[in-house]
Structure 1
Amino acid sequence: MHDLLHEIKNCTECLYKLPLGANPVVQASPQSKIAVIGQAPGIAVHQSGIPWDDKSGDNLRNWLGVDKDEFYDENIFALIPMGFCYPGTGKSGDLPPMKICAPLWHAKLFQMMPDIELTLLLGQYAQRYYLGKKARKSLTETVKSFQDYSSEFLALPHPSPRNNIWQSKNPWFKEKVLPFLKSRISEII
């Protein structure tokens, strides 16, 4: 696993397409029990090199019911983005993750993590990639159908503060999904 993580962290496949250069961010261990599949690092994470080291990470840890020590314990959480480097900014936020990363690295990472009990799919990019045709027409419908995937996957919106409006329009998320999520995380940890 150490060699694979070293290879990922030194990847330059997209170097010339990235506005701030390559700085792949990932956390994983052969003992990881929960995989968190996000979108791509934001600028703060690009600068710190620490996955989820931003407001989205604060929200995510709150959703999971864990503190930073638990969250950054690689024997508990594998933190794997769809795109490993900061993709840049577009008109309405960060650009989508680079499409090359997941096909290049995800299967290799999962082969090295036989103890994964749950994979959290944060946002539409992770959901489309991992659920394929099982994903519903919209992120809202996919997340609302969380129990359809709960044995292997749990579909969640991205925990960005930008999604607070979505959460206020979908109170069932806090009422049903988050208690279920916290219970599953607690069982696994």
Structure 2
Amino acid sequence: MIALVFFILAMAGGIVISRQYNRSKNFNSAHQVIGILLLVAFLSQLVLGLLNHRVFKREQRRTIMGKIHSYLGPAIVVFGLANGILGFTFANASFLAIPYFGLILVVAFIYTLIRGGCNFFRKRRADKKNGSGPYHQPQFGTNHGTSQYYPPPGGAAGSYYSEPPPYSQPDVPLATYRSSENVPREHSPAVQPRTMV
């Protein structure tokens, strides 16, 4: 909504200035035509966003309006920035296009840093919340994060089992398992070793 207010003010200023010069009274230059089309696209973007939000809130699904909205927004930004350069050329002030382009690059760089930082901290916060971060591995022997430990296998006692070792599943108590070599083989032929060459 803030951008729409500035857009309307810029359009009003452009119309007032254009009416003062014979060169721009007909509103048929590339800068003027693109500006008018961008205002129409901006209003369409606003309507599409509101309608998509209304449907999504009611039915919890995305619509074709949401897809158009997600692509139309960046397109408006790109064409709007390019139209600014055309505006300097149209006003016989091409020398201002270079610092304008440099300002665009600086703002784009700052925006990329802010967006990347927000995504990084959002992902880090989600990892901490889900317990999937590097410092949130479940401790061995604990019962879902409590201080209760499983008893050692076979009723063994001693200082060796006083502290649980880290990084194990909490719901699997220790137990001794026999090797498969000691299990009697039923209904299977005896395995003979190979002859050494």
Q: TM-score, structure 2 length as denominator?
A: 0.21
Structure in which a larger fraction of residues adopt strand: 1
Highest RCO, 1 vs 2 (Cα 8 Å, sep ≥ 6)? 1
